[in-house]
Amino acid sequence: MEPQPSSSLAVRGLRNHVGAQSLALRLSEAVVNSLSRRPHAPATTERENEKRAKESPGCSLPDPSLLARAGRAGSRLPLEMEFCVLDERWWYYYYYYYYYFYYYYYYFYYFYYFYYFYYFYFYYFYYHYYHYFYYFYYHYYHYYHYYHYYHYYYHYYYHFYSHIRSTIPPPRAAPTPDTGHPNYLGTLITTPHAVEGERPWIWV
């Protein structure tokens, strides 16, 4: 294989890289074009780029599409433009990676922003409902506890009262407030219901 000149190797490397990164090249091409021409000036053609590269001393940041077309055609670039290959590559990499990392940062910024936002949102409601159900369970537990407590207390009180009532003998005659019967209160509690078979009047 014959040794290749450095300019040919540079063009071939640039051609391979451009072929693999056509989308990023079009983006950098638009950026470089906007920097290399006057504001609101129409896009330059390939012939105008070649003329400008030959007439202007040094590197004037020509259109990257010219480099791509020349590289794909396998032709040599003008001498002035061969010195621009390194600069074009630098600008290309600069804008490519600038927008790449900017998008990367922007994407992850919004990703983590919404991630933490929804994390806080769900954590807040989780914390809220956790305490809500905790206190609900707490009051329900005590309600249930006191319900059974009073239930059994009432049950015990009822049986205790029934037992006490059963131990009081009924009087021989139904007294009235005018007779002055000594067991008048006990008679009110026991006598009528013991006779009629109903619950005591104090029962609620």
What is the distance between the alpha carbons of residues 193 and 166, in angstroms, rounded to a whole number?
11
What is the distance between the alpha carbons of residues 175 and 183, in angstroms, rounded to a whole number?
9
pLDDT of residue 66: 55
pLDDT of residue 130: 78
Q: How many domains does the chain have?
A: 1
Give yes or no for a contact between 29 and 63, defined as CB atoms under 8 angstroms apart: yes
pLDDT of residue 51: 64
- Nearest-CA neighbor of 190 among 181, 182, 199? 199
Domain membership of residue 173 (yes or no) is no
Domain membership of residue 75 (yes or no) is yes
What is the distance between the alpha carbons of residues 126 and 9, in angstroms, rounded to a whole number?
63
Domain membership of residue 182 (yes or no) is no
Domain membership of residue 131 (yes or no) is no
What is the distance between the alpha carbons of residues 117 and 122, in angstroms, rounded to a whole number?
9
pLDDT of residue 38: 41
Domain membership of residue 65 (yes or no) is yes
Total length of the chain: 204
The pTM assigned to this predicted structure is 0.19
Phi, psi of 161, rounded to the nearest 5 degrees: -65, -40
Run means of pLDDT, 10 residues per run, the chain, 204 residues: 50 51 55 47 56 53 54 49 52 67 76 78 79 76 74 73 68 53 49 48 46
Where in the sequence is the domain holding 74, given as residue range(s)? Answer: 6-115
Domain membership of residue 127 (yes or no) is no
Domain membership of residue 43 (yes or no) is yes
Cβ neighbours of residue 102 under 8 Å, at least 6 residues apart? Answer: none
Domain membership of residue 74 (yes or no) is yes
pLDDT of residue 157: 74
pLDDT of residue 204: 41
